Structure 1
């Protein structure tokens, strides 16, 4: 197993891509602190159904609050004794054309995306330095392509790419690596959208060379696990496209 004895924090781990990452990490031998905003009782019940349940804990926390970042890191260390991996998966935003975008929309996307990623990286750094750990952040085709109606999301994702590259340079001497995954995945939200707008969904799928959207657990999570594992010990500052070939960087 590629993540045996690794301790990871996964934000947004209660659903979608995040839950797929958590389930895969557990299969690969990791111990995981799941961070999300659903009630603590509901989160505890959810992770109790994961296997092995002894290797996972749930913490309700609002990642947009900077003061919560050190508490999240401390919770992982208290539960499992150390921290090897930080996965900044969670991000919320609202779509709108540029001329209709409000400050509230900016605050939501930057607060849960760019700022949350930065504050958690900053808080996790002392622990990751001890373990020569890894950070996996998330990019998006919305930012790489500049997709319409996604201005706050695209900007936050590109800011996260910038932060990640700076960290890759600054923290390389400490053995801490920082990379990004840019996924295309069939999450529950996308599934609902596909049912409501089948023609638009078919158009999206047609734009994926491999002919389908990725599965969070079997397609996206293994890429995240690779970047979190010692198998990628010579990889840092990179954006890996787990998108079926939708965007081919050069």
Structure 2
């Protein structure tokens, strides 16, 4: 029970990687605030979390800064503190570089970068009290410059940039800020596998470990480590949880 009594917020946790992290942390004893816009799937995640710990559910649009402030305040009011912030939520659309529009940038930054920034600002006073942990998300799309991912890659690299700044500024407060860059078998990827099995198999062959990560067992367990005291001397780092696909130097 490495997170016994800890309190965490996980955005985009109604399904996929966010749900995997919420469940992994709940099973280690953390109280989890589930944040998403999908009420049905959010309630399902809450039902899976509650046998292990006490959770909260927020069906909120976190592109609205006021909603971010309300979520942080409500979590602290209920549990008395905040130890862990996981900024996982992000929506984007793919298009070739020359077809990428301002609206695509607005979507990617509005659902990914700005909520991450606003949650970090809102959570900082509470994380300072608990010497807490921030876990943000990077992507191979930004690290590798994947085609058709202009707006998503830009937002993810912007998240990496502010995470490094916060790691430097908040280090004296005992707050760590790290990033996970994952590859995982999410519901969306499962649908793609069914519709394009040859492309899926080709992708698997490029991963040294020859499989996609499990949202809970692979990505979630790394998030638990980064949220625990075992990672106290790690900050400002991008942790590649991608089966060896990208090797940072």
Please say whether Structure 1 and Structure 2 have the same fold, judged by a TM-score greater than 0.5: yes
Task: Return the alpha-carbon distance in structure 2 between the equivalents of residues 35 and 45 of structure 1.
Answer: 12
1:19 aligns with 2:19: yes
Aligned to 1:243: 242
Q: TM-score, normalization: structure 1?
A: 0.97
1:198 aligns with 2:194: no
Task: Return the alpha-carbon distance in structure 1 between the equivalents of residues 48 and 24 of structure 2.
Answer: 14
Question: How do 1:45-64 and structure 2 match up within 5 A?
Answer: 46-52=45-51, 54-64=53-63
Which string of whole-angstrom CA distances, capped at 9 and with x for unpartnered residues, describes residues 100-125 of structure 1? 11111111100111111000000000
Gaps of 5+ in 1: none
Which string of whole-angstrom CA distances, capped at 9 and with x for unpartnered residues, describes residues 180-221 of structure 1? 000000001000001101111111101110110000000110
Aligned partners of 2:20 and 2:220 also within 8 Å: yes
Task: Return the alpha-carbon distance in structure 2 between the equivalents of residues 236 and 69 of structure 1.
Answer: 24
Q: TM-score, normalization: structure 2?
A: 0.97
Aligned to 1:232: 231
1:130 aligns with 2:129: yes
Task: Return the alpha-carbon distance in structure 1 between the equivalents of residues 145 and 104 of structure 2.
Answer: 17
Task: Return the alpha-carbon distance in structure 2 between the equivalents of residues 15 and 9 of structure 1.
Answer: 15
Task: Return the alpha-carbon distance in structure 2 between the equivalents of residues 50 and 71 of structure 1.
Answer: 22
3-state SS of paired residue (2:49): coil
Aligned partners of 1:139 and 1:182 also within 8 Å: yes
Which string of whole-angstrom CA distances, capped at 9 and with x for unpartnered residues, describes residues 213-233 of structure 1? 000000110111111111000
Note closer, same or farther for the CA distance 1:228–1:170 as it changes in structure 2 (3 Å cut).
Answer: same
Gaps of 5+ in 2: none
Task: Return the alpha-carbon distance in structure 1 between the equivalents of residues 42 and 205 of structure 2.
Answer: 36
Which has the larger displacement, 118-127 or 50-59? 50-59
Aligned partners of 1:25 and 1:225 also within 8 Å: yes
CA drift at 1:78: 2.0
3-state SS of paired residue (2:236): coil
Task: Return the alpha-carbon distance in structure 2 between the equivalents of residues 48 and 219 of structure 1.
Answer: 22
RMSD: 1.2
Aligned partners of 1:181 and 1:241 also within 8 Å: yes
Question: How do 1:83-98 and structure 2 match up within 5 A?
Answer: 83-98=82-97
Aligned to 2:182: 183
Aligned partners of 1:27 and 1:51 also within 8 Å: no
3-state SS of paired residue (1:123): helix
Aligned to 2:30: 30
CA drift at 1:67: 1.7
Task: Return the alpha-carbon distance in structure 2 between the equivalents of residues 46 and 19 of structure 1.
Answer: 6
CA drift at 1:166: 0.1
Task: Return the alpha-carbon distance in structure 1 between the equivalents of residues 235 and 60 of structure 2.
Answer: 28
Task: Return the alpha-carbon distance in structure 1 between the equivalents of residues 41 and 24 of structure 2.
Answer: 21
Aligned partners of 1:47 and 1:53 also within 8 Å: no
Task: Return the alpha-carbon distance in structure 2 between the equivalents of residues 26 and 53 of structure 1.
Answer: 6
